């Protein structure tokens, strides 16, 4: 059953903060679809669409794809009927220009996951992603490269989890995405959540911050 309150929850945070991991949990808890800007773009690459071929190198290098591209992909996703009752969005907007042009919808809550740079790097160097369903797990939890995912796909390391690309993505977060967070904070929408600790601990903090206990999520 969809929740009675309208939730359009944006999750922002540095690379490896657990945006994708927590977005899935929040989406499951509230029975809402989860949209990941990064995954939508990787899907284009995987499907070898014209757009995917254009942005493949950009993604691998850890650069932001052009604002028009990310906005087009996201706008198309937001036209699907399943988002009518709300959604959880991970990774958009990432700079002031995207924030300013993102006039086709507005968040009800912005969750910012805060973690240290050391922890970002530790998590990303251990991350594995299913090449078919996009599920994210960690080598630190015993998963291995090449292992089969439950969907039948294979767990692989992401092309942009190299030290150079991780460094570039963290730099973009500090210089560009922080300005977006300041803009949402000025509207009173931002909930800073400590992203350090276990996945369960961080999820419990998000539930507290968004007062989700009445939704049977705890």
| Residue whose tokens read 């996951």 | 113
Among 26, 32, 136, 206, binds ligand AP5 (CB under 6 A): 136
Measured from the Cβ of residue 137, the count of other Cβ atoms closer than 10 Å reads: 18
For residues 6 and 88, give the distance between their C-alpha atoms in angstroms, rounded to a whole number. Answer: 11
Judged by beta carbon distances under 5 to 8 A according to partner kind, the member of Mg ion, ligand AP5, none in contact with residue 149 is: none
CA–CA–CA angle 198, 155, 86 (5° rounding): 60
- Give the residue among 119, 129, 170 at the shortest CA–CA distance from 15: 170
Residue 62 near ligand AP5 by CB under 6 A: yes
Tokens found for residue 69: 């591209």
Residue 15 near ligand AP5 by CB under 6 A: yes
Residue 18 near Mg ion by CB under 5 A: no
Please give the helix or strand (H or E) that residue 24 lies within, else none: helix 19-30
For residues 96 and 176, give the distance between their C-alpha atoms in angstroms, rounded to a whole number. Answer: 7
Among 26, 37, 130, 190, binds ligand AP5 (CB under 6 A): 37
Of 12-20, 26-34, 68-76, 125-133, which part binds Mg ion (CB under 5 A)?
Answer: 12-20
Residue 86 near ligand AP5 by CB under 6 A: no
Site residues for ligand AP5 per CB under 6 A: 13, 15-21, 37-38, 41, 58-59, 62-65, 70, 91-94, 98, 123-124, 126-127, 136-138, 160, 169, 197-199, 202
Site residues for Mg ion per CB under 5 A: 20
């Amino acid at each position: 059953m969809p929740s009675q309150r309208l939730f359009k929850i944006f999750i922002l945070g540095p690379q490896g903060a657990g945006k994708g991991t927590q977005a899935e949990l929040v989406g499951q808890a509230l029975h809402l679809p989860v949209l990941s800007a990064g995954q939508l773009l990787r899907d284009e690459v995987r499907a070898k669409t014209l757009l995917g071929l254009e942005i493949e190198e950009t993604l691998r290098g850890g650069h932001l794809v052009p604002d028009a591209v990310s906005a087009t992909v996201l706008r198309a996703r937001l036209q699907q009927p399943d988002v009518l009752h709300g959604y959880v969005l991970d990774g958009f907007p990432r700079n002031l220009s995207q924030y300013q042009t993102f006039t086709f919808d507005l968040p009800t809550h912005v969750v910012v996951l805060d973690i240290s740079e050391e922890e970002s790097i530790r998590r990303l160097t251990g991350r594995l992603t299913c090449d078919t369903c996009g599920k994210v797990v960690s080598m630190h939890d015993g998963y291995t490269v090449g292992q089969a995912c439950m969907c039948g796909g294979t767990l692989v390391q992401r092309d942009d989890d190299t030290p150079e690309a991780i460094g570039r993505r963290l730099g973009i977060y500090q210089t560009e995405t922080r300005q977006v967070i300041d803009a949402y904070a000025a509207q009173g929408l931002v909930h800073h959540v400590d992203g350090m600790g276990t996945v369960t601990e961080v999820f419990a903090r998000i539930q507290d911050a968004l007062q989700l206990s009445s939704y049977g999520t705890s």
